[in-house]
Structure 1
């Protein structure tokens, strides 16, 4: 376990700049780094059961019908802890046992459009559950943007913040086994392997995330929540290893301009500052690779005489064909730019596969720079996360052992070796790229180079217009942006629909 030192505090204070590359830099009494859904959902149940006054669930999506511990339900649908395994019924049972507990669930309203079937479970929780479970859809963002933060806070004492949503297709083990019978959808269909990361923390850092969550609730609903007046409680799930204590944690945000509020792009500034300071290695895990400013910064480092190694872990393909045509056409262009800038063979981009050579979907959002900076959150390396959607990330500066151990743990998972074996290989080879090459098998669990596919006509159109990857640049102009705007598409679709209906009505009237 890492304990804070005065020197680490000084390095964090020198690097983090509240109001520019972060919001605040509070202290986390305890910190854990959580890899993959199996560990996260087990820990989440333990945290929720310990809440007594206030539970804030702020997220892109919530699915109240999923089982938190797949494959562990008894014949009554209960998990081994004796409470219902499904999210919605579990929350109802917890509230029934804690008479002073209020639960606030804030979900992006667009998630209802993406998965309308989940609206029914949301409504059932709202209608049939305790009046101390409060549910709201967050629509207070520019058209086409989304609320993408993933934060859970219990009694202003404990917080999760990172990339894992409490929804379907997020649970998986770190082995990402092929044909895992527990990794199935509600319809019984098998789900693809899934890799994800979040953080857990206590102390002032958790209190700050609670304040941010209440502010988001107020913006979405108009209701101001009063934080619990009791002192912070000692909440910690017993299945999470405490990896650091009394450690400074920067909280960074993206918030689009809305209701006269300016653009906040602290996360983008944090990414750019981190890339600029890199000496030896930049390690990235992200769902996408399309943001222009970050790609520009990476290209600049690759073209320098002292270029660091840059290793990026991405999914092989997007979750659907439309998204793949748009976002991965943009990724292909970014890869081409990075390869052209790479004068010293220092750039690699991979996708992970499991023991059956099945692609593992990468949903994690991580940047690790040398042994100096660790950055985890909800933001992807796309323009939306830099200046269009609502995001929240956390970062640590200093604490070299903690940061290197976490990087080694992530890469050892992808390569199917122990963290100790990876660290030993890294020491022997002297570079992360060489260590990957020495441990990466041609078949089975490992990393495969990503080779961009040719752009289709549709993909080129979507990429040129950046329809799926909008952003704002100006801090105060809520109309400022780049590319074809979603409202243009909506207006065109509405016009087409109106013309179609009018034509049908006219033909029906003529037949009469």
Structure 2
């Protein structure tokens, strides 16, 4: 029986979450350098089934940049490149099957990664199974970022195993390890994910196998149980025995209705907040979520709201589409902020260079933490396929994670930040008391002029669409992403054939 002093849970299955399961262990991982290192350890320990569900995979990336020997091997003795590493992991585990589900539109978004993807699928082990997920309306994307090992340990968050994601929490200016594959510098990148064991890991495996079935038509059986403890000794446990909610976004498709659990969970969390709402997101454009924030700002003595965003998007088109919307929302929130309780910042390195924020996090008070693949834009609320995890308490886990994130952004120790928070009794005042004018810190984001293109994209939400509850879409009509992918693949094959024919012709025909 619940104590009258214990606040009721905001988690409601089939409303703002899919289900609630138990996590025996929880770890919160910040930035891809730590994640990729732990991921390698897990992949080398799994015995039967490895599920990798992602927006994109780049099989040519080095998981541990700067640590390869002359043979391309990492310090653990296995290939550093992701594709070769998966091959080696399968070779040393005779019962292991690896299932990689990747958004089919990623073939168009990054056509240069198509060749290594095909090579791994066609020339690699028959126990590495690769599928392109096109089970969504035209224009939508599969955006979940889940890894599950033997139904026992799962990762769920915002980090893709793809190019330009690797960085350390120091975000060192000019770090020689943070480079693109062509050797050019890659920008500082901030991200986060979670590691979970227990029944919640099995639930995430079930969700992943359902997604595999919907994308391919193939049913994956649950792997054999194993007594092996997959939790690596190098990964600190942040909490034990915690209830975890799994929340999803799924667009209406094949007669299935819209699932917008993440949207409802965000709104419910905002409504329940008393002291502070802390957000990290790649975008800040969701109409419904930002309306809920505006409503809290209009109230007397509502919570403080702190948002961490990137300064700019990854392309001019994306900047026009998403940050014009952001600017309009900032203006609305500042107009509603009659008690100076709203801030939106972007983080910078010690040299003042912007750090790109890709993390997807919401922390309300000391009570609720949500982390996953969903951004605060309309696509993530009702168009793309997303998966988040959320916990209510323990307080030390939630406030400790918020302190850890803000300490990283401000370039101070967690102890220093916590002292400032206790002194100021305000999240905003603690941040501003530690925020240096030069070097590592947080910088104010202001709206930008719309411009012709930006105004059009913002007014139409052409690149940030969504479905509303009750709306339907047809699965069989129109040009689909998989059709575009097939066209691209056909063009690639045709181009290679034409090039080979020309070389054959120039060389005078075949030679013995």
Fold shared per TM-score above 0.5? yes
Alignment CA distance shift 1:256-1:8 (3 Å): farther
SS of the residue corresponding to residue 299 of structure 1 reads helix
Which residue of structure 2 lines up, in the alignment, with residue 3 of structure 1? none
2:211 paired with 1:216 = yes
Deviations 1:130-176 (A, max 9, x none): 10000010001000000000000000010000000000011100000
Matches within 5 A, 1:184-195: 184-195=179-190
Which residue of structure 2 lines up, in the alignment, with residue 111 of structure 1? 106
- Cα distance in 2 for partners of 1:476, 1:315 equals 32
Which residue of structure 2 lines up, in the alignment, with residue 91 of structure 1? 86
Q: Give the drift of 1:307.
A: 1.6
Deviations 1:389-418 (A, max 9, x none): 000000001211111111000000000000
* Aligned residue among 367, 374, 377 for 1:372: 367
Deviations 1:354-403 (A, max 9, x none): 00100000000000000010010000000000000000000001211111
2:298 paired with 1:314 = no
- Cα distance in 1 for partners of 2:155, 2:6 equals 25
- Cα distance in 1 for partners of 2:231, 2:205 equals 16
Which residue of structure 2 lines up, in the alignment, with residue 325 of structure 1? 320
Deviations 1:302-325 (A, max 9, x none): 000022100000000000000001
Please say if residues 9 and 392 of structure 2, whose CA atoms lie closer than 8 Å, have aligned partners that are also in contact: no
- Cα distance in 2 for partners of 1:7, 1:170 equals 44
Alignment CA distance shift 1:72-1:59 (3 Å): same
Please say if residues 303 and 341 of structure 1, whose CA atoms lie closer than 8 Å, have aligned partners that are also in contact: yes
Which residue of structure 2 lines up, in the alignment, with residue 49 of structure 1? 44
Which residue of structure 2 lines up, in the alignment, with residue 243 of structure 1? 238
Deviations 1:287-335 (A, max 9, x none): 0010100011000000000221000000000000000011000000110
Please say if residues 8 and 397 of structure 1, whose CA atoms lie closer than 8 Å, have aligned partners that are also in contact: no
- Cα distance in 2 for partners of 1:7, 1:178 equals 51
- Cα distance in 2 for partners of 1:345, 1:41 equals 40
Q: Give the drift of 1:128.
A: 1.4
Which residue of structure 1 lines up, in the alignment, with residue 116 of structure 2? 121
SS of the residue corresponding to residue 75 of structure 2 reads coil
SS of the residue corresponding to residue 159 of structure 2 reads coil
- Cα distance in 2 for partners of 1:231, 1:238 equals 18
- Cα distance in 2 for partners of 1:216, 1:319 equals 28
Q: Give the drift of 1:474.
A: 2.7
Q: Give the drift of 1:431.
A: 0.5
Which residue of structure 2 lines up, in the alignment, with residue 470 of structure 1? 465
Alignment CA distance shift 1:331-1:130 (3 Å): same
Which residue of structure 2 lines up, in the alignment, with residue 14 of structure 1? 9
Q: Give the drift of 1:238.
A: 2.2
- Cα distance in 2 for partners of 1:452, 1:364 equals 21
Please say if residues 162 and 197 of structure 1, whose CA atoms lie closer than 8 Å, have aligned partners that are also in contact: yes
SS of the residue corresponding to residue 242 of structure 2 reads strand
Matches within 5 A, 1:362-511: 362-475=357-470, 477-478=472-473
* Aligned residue among 143, 146, 151 for 1:148: 143
Q: Give the drift of 1:231.
A: 4.2
Please say if residues 156 and 232 of structure 1, whose CA atoms lie closer than 8 Å, have aligned partners that are also in contact: no
TM score, norm. by length of structure 2: 0.91
Please say if residues 25 and 197 of structure 2, whose CA atoms lie closer than 8 Å, have aligned partners that are also in contact: yes
- Cα distance in 2 for partners of 1:7, 1:289 equals 37
Please say if residues 282 and 310 of structure 1, whose CA atoms lie closer than 8 Å, have aligned partners that are also in contact: yes
Q: Give the drift of 1:232.
A: 6.1
Query: What RMSD, in angstroms, separates the aligned Cα atoms of the two structures?
Result: 2.0
* Aligned residue among 102, 106, 129 for 1:134: 129
- Cα distance in 2 for partners of 1:369, 1:233 equals 36
Number of aligned residues: 481
2:288 paired with 1:293 = yes
- Cα distance in 2 for partners of 1:403, 1:7 equals 22
2:364 paired with 1:360 = no
Q: Give the drift of 1:246.
A: 1.1
- Cα distance in 1 for partners of 2:204, 2:187 equals 31
Q: Give the drift of 1:10.
A: 6.7
Q: Give the drift of 1:9.
A: 13
* Aligned residue among 53, 57, 61 for 2:56: 61
2:263 paired with 1:265 = no
SS of the residue corresponding to residue 293 of structure 2 reads helix
Which residue of structure 2 lines up, in the alignment, with residue 23 of structure 1? 18
Which residue of structure 2 lines up, in the alignment, with residue 172 of structure 1? 167
* Aligned residue among 332, 338, 345 for 1:343: 338
Please say if residues 48 and 224 of structure 2, whose CA atoms lie closer than 8 Å, have aligned partners that are also in contact: no
Please say if residues 36 and 63 of structure 2, whose CA atoms lie closer than 8 Å, have aligned partners that are also in contact: yes
TM score, norm. by length of structure 1: 0.91
Please say if residues 388 and 470 of structure 1, whose CA atoms lie closer than 8 Å, have aligned partners that are also in contact: yes
Q: Give the drift of 1:479.
A: 6.3
- Cα distance in 1 for partners of 2:356, 2:234 equals 25
SS of the residue corresponding to residue 430 of structure 2 reads helix
- Cα distance in 2 for partners of 1:474, 1:303 equals 27
Please say if residues 253 and 474 of structure 2, whose CA atoms lie closer than 8 Å, have aligned partners that are also in contact: no
Q: Give the drift of 1:230.
A: 2.0
